[in-house]
Amino acid sequence: MVKRAVATASNIGRLEELKKKPRANEARVLLEKLEKHVTPCMLRHGYKITALKEFYPDNKGLLGINVNRSQISVRLRDPNNDSTFLEWHNILGTMVHELTHMEIGPHSSDFYDVSYVLPPPLPLPPLLPLPPLLLLSRLNLTFIFIIFSHYLLLFSHALLCSSAHGQTVH
């Protein structure tokens, strides 16, 4: 059963960083950023959780867990170095994965289809045309990669916060 709630400023009860880990204040900022990014989606779908927590499990492959559709824990730190944080898109991707468990518990084909069913809620900004001279240097290729990564992040965020264009996700 999906926990539903009336829309509030945030449907996350509390944030909990690992205070005994290095750079705990930065972990708190990441959790706040994560809350800000997923709140519109949570409000749209009526999801409510009592806590969004940082965790650092011994299993290095475990990135997140959704406990009883009421608490979500997300790995923020590199499994081999607790002083280094994972890249933002990995953290956000884990949160999207765990929010998908609010609708579908097991890792089934339906679970993995959810992200393809949810279209962007707003049009994405148009891709900017790049002048031909920008394609000539390694520095400019780096610039192009950064622009591409930015649009990819915008697109994945749009997928997270969208509704199902007349299709119901269970």
pLDDT for 58 equals 95
Whether residue 28 lies inside any domain: the answer is yes
How many domains, in total, are found in the chain? 1
Helical packing angle, 138-160 and 88-100, nearest 10°: 20
In single-letter form, the type of residue at position 75 comes to R
Residues marked active site are found at 98
pTM of the model as a whole: 0.65
Domain residue limits at 30: 12-160
What does each of the 170 residues of the chain score in pLDDT, given as a tens digit? 444 444 446 789 999 999 999 999 999 999 999 998 888 888 888 889 999 999 999 999 999 999 999 999 999 999 999 999 999 988 988 888 888 888 888 877 777 666 544 434 444 445 555 454 444 444 445 555 555 555 555 555 555 555 444 433 33
Q: Are strands 64-67 and 71-74 parallel, antiparallel or unpaired?
A: antiparallel
Whether residue 4 lies inside any domain: the answer is no
pLDDT for 10 equals 78
